Structure 1
Amino acid sequence: MFKTLRNELILNYVLEPAGPLLIKSGKDNGLQPERPNMTVMTTYFQGKECPVIPGSSMKGVIRSRLEQLLRSFVKEVGGESREMACYITDNDTPDNCNKKVEDAKNITDVEGKYAVACRACQLFGNTFLASRIKFSDAIGKEGIRLAQRTCVAIDRVTGGVAGRARFDVEVVETGKFYGDIHLRNFALWQVVGLLAVLNDIQQGIVTLGSATSRGFGRVKITALQGQFRDYRLDKPSDVLWGYRGQKDQLKFWQEFEQAGFYQQAPVDLQMLDRWPELMRQRDFLALLQADVR
Structure 2
Amino acid sequence: MQTLVDLNADAGESFGRWTLGADDQLIPLVNSVNVACGWHAGDPGTMHSTLRIAREAGASVGAHPGMPDLAGFGRRAIALSPQEAADACLYQFGALRGIADSLGVPVTHVKPHGALYGLTLRDENVADAVVDALANAAPETNVVLLAGQTAQRLAAKGYPVVREAFADLDYDDNGHIVIEPVPRAKSPQQCTEQATSVLRGELVSMNGASVPVDADTICVHGDRPNAVEIAEAIRARFDEEGVGTAPMATVLAKRD
TM range (shorter): under 0.3
Structure 1 length-normalised TM: 0.24
Q: Could you say which structure has the higher strand fraction? A: 1
Structure 2 length-normalised TM: 0.26
Name which structure has the greater RCO, CA cutoff 8 Å, separation 6+. Answer: 1
